[in-house]
Structure 1
Amino acid sequence: MDKVPMTAEGYAALEAEIKHLKTVERPRIIKAIAEAREHGDLSENAEYHAAKEQQGMTEARVADLEDKLSRADVIDISKLSGNQVMFGATVTLIDEDTEQKVKYRIVGEIEANVKEGKISIGSPIARALLNKHKGDVVEVSTPGGGKSYEIVKVEFK
């Protein structure tokens, strides 16, 4: 069983999602199944089959999230410091071709969301950044070709 690295924030988000699925979604689905059963013949009851399918997907999601929480390796970013890029670091980069600034926080796979500036520790850019320091230039292989970034800031917040 591999440990799943995540921030305390990511752990709390998973706990909240499990709570929502168990306290809101489960009862709603159970009610939908009960209502569909009242319509009679279950073999041709689309509402019943849809509710049962949704119940299966919800239970699978709960099991998956609980598995990830049980294997969680929560890393307290507030205790990290320095100028070396590692898990939990927020890194400011400058694209050497376009001079555009980007900012990424390196998080666990489960928490990754590029729109929020959070990239997975397993992503190509995060792998290229790991163990580098402010001022270093990194080459990242992307589907569109290679990109060069200069690390201008490493912070833990």
Structure 2
Amino acid sequence: MKTPGNPISPQGMAALRARYDHLLGEERPRIVDIVSWAAGNGDRSENGDYIYGRKRLREIDRELGHLSRRMKAARVIDPGAPTDPDRVFFGAKVTIADEDDVQRIVQLVGDDEADAGDGRIGWGSPLARALRGASVGDVRIVRLPAGDKEWEIVAIDYA
């Protein structure tokens, strides 16, 4: 199953959209009001509210542009109905074990919704690339800066 572009789950796309809407509809107008008020106070060169507000507006606009580009490039994929549930594809929760039989569960998600601390790894990460298409019992080698590491696929779940 080839997944072109930037795959993302429906929940991940909803989170991007919510962040975009919050910045555009709530935070940016609030900062614009502050900057307008501060600009009316006179000398702008030493006006902290004006200087900080302008800086924050640039940050918000930069993030809005980034979110807009990510949403345009995103391809929403519902991982609930895989074509081959015995293989690892987007959205799979995979139980893997290393050489010392230490197991961990990872879920393959879009790069924009990855959170390694929560077990969600980005589709483009080295581990996710190594796991793609694997079946239970397969051993995959992941090339890391500290050296190669082998992982065995113990279980695959799409629930």
Matched AA of 1:79: A
Q: How does 1:95-110 map to 2 (within 5 A)?
A: 95-97=98-100, 99-110=101-112
CA distance in 2, matches of 1:127, 1:72: 18
Unaligned 5+ runs, structure 2: none
| Shift in Å, 1:102 | 0.8
Q: Which residue of 1 aligns with 2:132?
A: 130
Q: Which residue of 2 aligns with 1:112?
A: 114
CA distance in 2, matches of 1:55, 1:132: 46
Provide TM-score, normalisation by structure 2: 0.90
| Shift in Å, 1:83 | 1.3
Q: Which residue of 2 aligns with 1:3?
A: 5
Q: How does 1:73-112 map to 2 (within 5 A)?
A: 73-80=75-82, 81-97=84-100, 99-112=101-114
Hey, which bits of structure 1, 4+ residues long, moved more than 3 A? none
CA distance in 1, matches of 2:7, 2:89: 12
CA distance in 2, matches of 1:38, 1:50: 15
Q: Percent identity?
A: 37
Provide TM-score, normalisation by structure 1: 0.91
Matched AA of 2:89: M
2:53 pairs with 47, 51, 54, which one? Answer: 51
| Shift in Å, 1:152 | 0.5
CA distance in 1, matches of 2:29, 2:81: 40
Q: Which residue of 2 aligns with 1:69?
A: 71
CA distance in 2, matches of 1:72, 1:148: 31
Which whole-Å deviations, capped at 9, do the CAs of 1:19-74 have from their partners, x for residues lacking one? 11112211221122123223320123232121111101101211221222122210
- Say how many residue pairs are matched: 155
